[in-house]
Structure 1
Amino acid sequence: MSQLFSLLNCLLQLVQLAQLAQLATAGQTHEYNFTTGWVRKNPDGMQEKQMIGFNGMWPIPEIHVNKGDRLIVRLTNGFEDMPTSLHFHGFFHRQSDENRNQMDGPQMVTQCPIMPGDTFVYNFTVVNQVGTYWIHSHSGAQYTDGMRTALIVHDEDEPFEYDQEMVIQLSDHYHKPYYEVVDEFLSRYNPTGAEPIPQNILFNNTVNASISFDPDTVYLLRFINVGNFVAQYVYMEDHDFTIVEVDGTYVRPNTTSLLYLAPGQRTSVLVHSKSQSDKNYALMQIMDETMLDAVPDDLVLNRTNQVLYNKSAPEAGEFFINSFEDATNDFYLTPLSGTELLPDYDYRITLDVKMENLGDGVNYAFFNNITYVAPKVPSLITAVTAPKHLVKNPSIYGDNVNAFVLEYGEIVEVVLNNYDDGRHPFHLHGHSFQIVQKSPSFAESPEGNGEPGSPTPYNESAPLMKFPDIPMHRDTVILEGNGHTVLRFVADNPGVWLFHCHVDWHLEQGLAALFIEAPLLLQEKEDFTENYLQVCSSANIAVSGNAAGHEDDWLNLEGLPRQPKPLPESFTWKGYVAFAVSTVVGLWGLLTIVQYGISESVQDDEAIYNNLQNLLKDAGETS
């Protein structure tokens, strides 16, 4: 009997040890209760404005978790008159035993907008992802006004060593509230689509900032561009950066002196400090001037921040970069995982980027001549509630969202051809991707005569560069002006995933597409929480149906929001003729006034009238 008790005791101890081991590996739960609201601040010291904070605080505190932890964020909409939502930028939401896709955040894609007074609960486990991420509003251009912060996932098995780490958020800054800027931007009075020029750039939500270094110390600096529009260069005087992580992907160490981060991108670097502490150094952040249509005289492109070794020593002076050609090109980085180039694609998506005016006079952004217009029902709801025989039919998601249906496990190739001379950082939700091709910019003529270049789309039979054996992979990549980029990923994460330009002004213009990935598997895995359904109810949005809200006839798209009608054919030419005629008439009128004023003769009104009639007649025949 005593032997039996001893055996049972041993078994009990083993069970207890197993439970302790399970608790040790299960991870912690981090819970946050956030309420959005306006907070009056003066980030650049030039003008006070209302920033969007959480719980009456701005800047919003950073969030730090460990791999395997659970994150619960209860977001309450504290605004009086506008909806909101929250996106976890770079997170895949791959957990297999939970509702995953509905935690992604973009309103009318994976969730209904959170209306004033309502709370949405984001609840998920961080599975097999580490590194540098961030969270931001995915409702309109709200994060422009500060609804954003860093989200760091720590890894006890990091493949590099350092003594201290710092998170550095880079952003652009506008003095007007984002909704006023959007209204002025998407206006017939801005027919060229010139992007709003920021009034400043910020370093950790301020200007003229500083970081402190101790001598002979290794620092991990996590740079995040949380801005809306402008990419930035980063340079540290007389120090080198060793890149070790990009967008949550560990890379083989790559040493450089100049970093380049577009909105949405993250780059972590190691910096070994000097052995002496007798001098301070400049940490420069520089706007990518090529993204601006114009540079106002009072715009500071070159911001000087301080690397302080000695607070008693003089501050470092401004440092100027003579050439930006040495900035690291992510195409030539190599992931530490050594993952080889994916085999030839099973399904190719070609997306041609264009910017054009439609019939309302506003300049829009297009994929394949379609500018994204949000449906009446979130696309995830359509995917989950559609009949199985129709769930793979792209038409039920609407003809204004650029919907592409992907089969589970297939290799997807995305070809981006830029017919615009501006740079565009593209971000894919739910995945990272391999960068298979990345052309240089063709925004300027190769002759170097100052003339604009010509669009150079991808030519599969004659690629500009050799396909890499081990391509870089990340979740946000730059498409160069008039150039092209080719991406590949495996469709192994069922969900409705947004693919869009992370210049938020361009997203507001409609530069987005939807990847409906393995929708039959998605229907098996995704059940809407009570909280999810309640938020939709508060917003008066249906929780089943196609893009137009119909569930009696899934192919009926009557009432679907669509893009404005195109400009009338030849409108542009006739507009030029009308402008020319109006100019001639105006000048003629001025001339007659001058002649009348300096002459004693009486003006012949009938002759002037006949001349104007002849001008208008000639112009009409020409057009």
Structure 2
Amino acid sequence: MRLANFGTLVMVMYGVVATAAATTHTFYYEVTALKANPDGVKEKTVIGFNNTWPLPTIEITKGDTVLLYLTNGLKDSNTSLHFHGLFQNGANAMDGPEFVTQCPIAPGQTYLYNFTVDSQSGTYWYHSHTGNQYLDGLRGALIIHDSEPMPFEYDEEVMLTISDWYHDSHKDLMKQFLNKYNPTGAEPVPQNALFNDSRNVTWEVKPNTTYFLRIASVSGFVSQYLYIEDHEMTVVEVDGVYVEPTTTKSLYLTAAQRYGVLIKTKEVNPNKNFCFMQALDESMLDIVPAELELTGTNWMVYNKDADLPESFDFDYTVEGNEPVDDFTLVPIGKYPLLPDYDYQIVLDVEMLNLANGVNYALFNNITYVPPKVPTLATVLSAPKDQIFNKEIYGSNTHSFVLQKDEIVEIVVNNHDDGKHPFHLHGHIFQVIQKSPEFEDPTDYDENDHESFPDYPLLRDTVQVAGNGYMVLRFKANNPGVWFFHCHVDWHLEQGLAITLIEDPETLRETQYLSDNFKEVCDAVGMGYQGNAAGNTKDYGNLDNENVQPSFLPPGFTAKGYFAMFLCVITALYGLYTIFSFGNEDDATLSEDEMIENLKNILIQNNAFDESLLGSE
């Protein structure tokens, strides 16, 4: 199959300076549901634009203005749109996360995303920020071309998205996931990995040609490895930031990360073709169903008449094959380490069962719960003497108020053995510490740590290792309300997020809520004045605010839940045994067969995690 969606191959001549005036791009998109079968295995209902899917790649140039009219054509769901990685400086209401910077867009309503990109270029993407809606396809690539010469040469440019893919709808999966019958919090396992919203894709290339390949992970959960047989990749961009060229054989992308790489093809046509491999990170999965193909094979095609090579397993652990370590990448311009922090936020990641039996994700024992009024609206409507009082933004929005231009340091201590890619809205950050994975939770010690890099990595999404830690630093110079959250969408839905209210005084002086903002709020029945509880008279009164479930009684720990879980399995097994021996067709089943059948039933209902029982 020809790679029809691998991006238009645009010839770009290095050294040509754009002289055209900034352009205004106007888009009219209606969010609609339609059928698609991107992996060739199962058709499902996807969410697209204007009754088409995949979504278009949006291309603009630095300095341009975007007017995107988003109409919700879904019958029974709200929606929204976030432009991942964009600073939205001066346009906080255009950022997109519902309940944070806007109200959800109700069916039949239109919201105008109106912003100018005046300081950024590179590889980005856009996606719904309503629940985990983008798992059903409401996401696409966004390219911001540089208006000035780029710091590297290439001949042709292509766009590639990679993602995981589920056959069931996000709504059905969420019902199974946030459920007391899933006490371990095991994430739903995807059915496939997609390569430009397809599988087994061919990419026709020319010899002696340098391609600039923009890669965006639009996954909702599982990270992926990428490797091109007998070719190297030179990393030149990370999350919209140019970096000093670094050559690697493979890449590792978490959900929401982007890389720009140069690929030089063979000088002489070899008259053969090469595998372009992608592989899901198996370590992120609690179980690996027999039907799941962890490895996907696509091809770089020099000769379309030649055979396509067989797929193979690429060992990323062999010395020389391992992916580039993003922590070692140096931004072009060598931006020095920011000064010591003025304000430090220490966040401990926990995955806990609360009193309703559901497994939640928490920072410092708080799981994010949306307020009754968008946090941005609270900032803009509160009395001036209240805007620095974090309490008015709600007990469960986990809000922190940042002063103008202060240096902010975020320390993430991961007390979970899973990996978490964290994304900060409105900023790129310096990554100044990033630990390896540990067997037991190990917190960052600011009095005993590795030396900070002189010129740290800059990006907007970075992964913390299991039981490890990372330290991020940025300057609070973009007034607004900004989300910081895990970009594993299941974990965001579990509440792994905080809210940063940055320089609220300047925000109030320079920004306001449009009539369109208020219309959208009215249509969904949500206020645009008041504190997190919707109280417009007494901002200190949070009665009836949205809060998390209570904690389990002391002593009722995860071990207690596990013991209860084993009791449930034992009871079910007893019932199953009685049923089997009472059923003539099943009377000949062995005990092992009955156990296997029970296990399959539990797995299908997300009620069993094989790894909990070990090998026996």
**TM-score relative to the length of structure 1:** 0.87
| 1:167 equivalent in structure 2 | 159
Offset at residue 456 of structure 1 (A): 0.8
Offset at residue 317 of structure 1 (A): 1.6
| 2:535 equivalent in structure 1 | 550
CA, structure 1 residues 584+72, in 2 after alignment: closer, same or farther (shift >3 Å)? closer
Q: Is the 8 A contact 1:262 1:425 kept in 2?
A: yes
Offset at residue 324 of structure 1 (A): 3.4
Offset at residue 337 of structure 1 (A): 2.0
CA, structure 1 residues 279+538, in 2 after alignment: closer, same or farther (shift >3 Å)? same
Q: Is the 8 A contact 1:237 1:319 kept in 2?
A: no
CA, structure 1 residues 585+395, in 2 after alignment: closer, same or farther (shift >3 Å)? closer
Q: Which stretch has the larger CA shift, 583-592 or 169-178?
A: 583-592
Offset at residue 581 of structure 1 (A): 7.9
Query: Quick one: distance in 2 between partners of 1:515 and 1:501?
Result: 14
Query: Quick one: distance in 2 between partners of 1:543 and 1:582?
Result: 46
CA, structure 1 residues 197+527, in 2 after alignment: closer, same or farther (shift >3 Å)? same
Q: Residue 420 of structure 2: which of 414, 421, 424 is its match?
A: 424
| 1:370 equivalent in structure 2 | 366
Q: How many residues align?
A: 556
Q: Identity of aligned pairs, percent? A: 52
Q: Residue 389 of structure 1: which of 364, 385, 392 is its match?
A: 385
Query: Quick one: distance in 2 between partners of 1:419 and 1:112?
Result: 33
CA deviations over 1:496-549 (Å, ceiling 9, x no partner): 000000000000000000010000110001111111111111111111100000
| 1:52 equivalent in structure 2 | 47
Query: Quick one: distance in 2 between partners of 1:300 and 1:331?
Result: 30
| 1:6 equivalent in structure 2 | none
- Map of 1:232-247 to 2, 5 A cutoff? 232-247=224-239
| Structure number, greater radius of gyration | 1
CA, structure 1 residues 117+581, in 2 after alignment: closer, same or farther (shift >3 Å)? closer
CA, structure 1 residues 222+586, in 2 after alignment: closer, same or farther (shift >3 Å)? closer
1:379 matches 2:375? yes
| 2:99 equivalent in structure 1 | 108
Query: Quick one: distance in 2 between partners of 1:485 and 1:149?
Result: 29
CA, structure 1 residues 41+435, in 2 after alignment: closer, same or farther (shift >3 Å)? same
| 2:199 equivalent in structure 1 | 207
Q: Secondary structure at the match of 1:389?
A: helix
Q: Is the 8 A contact 1:93 1:127 kept in 2?
A: no
CA deviations over 1:25-44 (Å, ceiling 9, x no partner): 64011111000011101110
Q: Residue 457 of structure 1: which of 443, 463, 483 is its match?
A: 443
The unaligned stretches of length 5 or more in structure 1 are: 1-22, 443-452, 593-623
Query: Quick one: distance in 2 between partners of 1:304 and 1:587?
Result: 41
Offset at residue 583 of structure 1 (A): 8.8
Query: Quick one: distance in 2 between partners of 1:76 and 1:24?
Result: 34
**TM-score relative to the length of structure 2:** 0.88
CA, structure 1 residues 430+591, in 2 after alignment: closer, same or farther (shift >3 Å)? closer
Offset at residue 402 of structure 1 (A): 1.1
Q: Residue 152 of structure 1: which of 125, 143, 157 is its match?
A: 143
Q: Residue 255 of structure 1: which of 235, 247, 251 is its match?
A: 247
1:331 matches 2:327? yes
Q: Secondary structure at the match of 2:356?
A: coil
Q: Is the 8 A contact 1:259 1:327 kept in 2?
A: yes
Query: Quick one: distance in 2 between partners of 1:255 and 1:489?
Result: 28
Query: Quick one: distance in 2 between partners of 1:474 and 1:343?
Result: 18
Query: Quick one: distance in 2 between partners of 1:486 and 1:109?
Result: 24
Q: Is the 8 A contact 1:263 1:503 kept in 2?
A: yes
Offset at residue 93 of structure 1 (A): 1.1
- Map of 1:14-163 to 2, 5 A cutoff? 26-95=21-90, 100-155=91-146, 156-163=148-155
Query: Quick one: distance in 1 between partners of 2:180 and 2:324?
Result: 39
CA, structure 1 residues 228+583, in 2 after alignment: closer, same or farther (shift >3 Å)? closer
Q: Secondary structure at the match of 1:571?
A: coil
| 2:283 equivalent in structure 1 | 290
Q: Secondary structure at the match of 1:550?
A: coil
CA, structure 1 residues 284+543, in 2 after alignment: closer, same or farther (shift >3 Å)? same
Q: Secondary structure at the match of 2:386?
A: coil
Letter in 2 for 1:455: P
Q: Is the 8 A contact 1:144 1:228 kept in 2?
A: yes
Query: Quick one: distance in 2 between partners of 1:44 and 1:238?
Result: 26
CA deviations over 1:298-320 (Å, ceiling 9, x no partner): 11011110101100011022132
Q: Is the 8 A contact 1:74 1:121 kept in 2?
A: yes
| 1:501 equivalent in structure 2 | 486
- Map of 1:554-573 to 2, 5 A cutoff? 554-572=539-557
Letter in 1 for 2:532: A
How big is the alpha-carbon RMSD for the aligned residues of Structure 1 and Structure 2? 2.0
Q: Residue 268 of structure 1: which of 260, 269, 272 is its match?
A: 260
Q: Is the 8 A contact 2:183 2:561 kept in 1?
A: no
Query: Quick one: distance in 2 between partners of 1:181 and 1:324?
Result: 33
| 1:301 equivalent in structure 2 | 294
CA, structure 1 residues 591+307, in 2 after alignment: closer, same or farther (shift >3 Å)? closer
Letter in 2 for 1:545: G
Offset at residue 566 of structure 1 (A): 1.1
CA, structure 1 residues 349+25, in 2 after alignment: closer, same or farther (shift >3 Å)? farther
Query: Quick one: distance in 2 between partners of 1:434 and 1:483?
Result: 18
Offset at residue 182 of structure 1 (A): 0.8
Query: Quick one: distance in 2 between partners of 1:586 and 1:507?
Result: 32
The unaligned stretches of length 5 or more in structure 2 are: 1-17, 579-616
Query: Quick one: distance in 2 between partners of 1:470 and 1:577?
Result: 49
Query: Quick one: distance in 1 between partners of 2:186 and 2:370?
Result: 23
